Amino acid sequence: YFVKVAWAWTFWLLLPFIAVTTYQFAESKFLYGPTKSVLTVLRRLSALLVGTAVWYVCTGLFIYIENLTGMCSTSGKLGEPRRLYATKQECHQDNGIWSGFDISGHCFLLSYCAMMIVEEVAVLEGLSIDQNSKLRVVVNGLFVSLCFLTMIWVFMFLCTAVYFHDFSQKLLGVLTGLSAWYGTYRFWYLKPFSPGLPLPNIPLSSKKYGYSR
């Protein structure tokens, strides 16, 4: 159940982290005024809306594929007419077992969430905050929480890889998650009309900033 709401955990931790770090970065590095800094924050927060759309569309697609390819096995009495089930939910309501091609939503979501967190926390490489500032305590607290959450996602991913689904279902789940990450942070977010990267137009692999400590 913790993994089923993985996007909610990721969303509510990234929301304050992106807002605080983007505002601080816009003011200190680009010398933006309050209005332009707020607009920059809103633009970057739209990445969470994109992530929500990716989660919703992909999980809905996985459910559709499983319903389309599945069949229901029930322990009905002999002589009773065989009922046709359109969805997995209908099958489970009659205590049946649904067998369809179940692409691993956990592998998709955990890989996507972990990669998104890694991309977003990279903003700390270019952020300067006063050593004794309360803001620094808040940012560090959020950073540690996101790191801990990423560790949980990696552990849950390993559990899913060992105990659930077959290889093709897990592979397609991971490929979907990585494709969603690559299509956003490595392609679309480099374009002008996009939420943008945590550090403007600089891919993670080429960032040269240093987080002052």
* DSSP calls for the chain: -TTTTHHHHHHHHHHHHHHHHHHHHHHHHS---HHHHHHHHHHHHHHHHHHHHHHHHHHHHHHHHHHHH-EEE--PPTTSPPPP-SSHHHHHHTT-EEES----HHHHHHHHHHHHHHHHHGGGGG----TT-HHHHHHHHHHHHHHHHHHHHHHHHHHHHHHSS-HHHHHHHHHHHHHHHHHHHTTGGGSSSS---SSTT--GGG-------
Cα–Cα distance, 62 to 175 (Å, whole number): 13
> Side-chain half-sphere of 210: how many Cα atoms within 13 Å?
2
pLDDT for 40 equals 87
Q: Which of 66, 106, 110, 169 is catalytic?
A: 106
pLDDT for 143 equals 93
pLDDT for 44 equals 92
How much is the mean pLDDT over the chain?
A: 82
pLDDT for 133 equals 77
Which one, of 189, 6, 1, lies nearest residue 108 by Cα?
Answer: 6
pLDDT for 78 equals 47
Please state the pTM of the whole predicted model.
0.83
The 10s digit of each residue's pLDDT in 170-201 is 999 999 999 999 999 999 998 888 898 886 54
Q: Which of 44, 88, 165, 170 is catalytic?
A: 165
Which positions of the chain have pLDDT values less than 70?
Answer: 29-32, 74-86, 92, 94, 130-132, 199-213
DSSP tag of 126:
G
pLDDT for 183 equals 94
Based on the residue annotation, tell me whether 165 is a catalytic residue of this protein: yes
Domain ranges of the chain: 2-67+101-200
Share of the chain above pLDDT 90, in %: 39
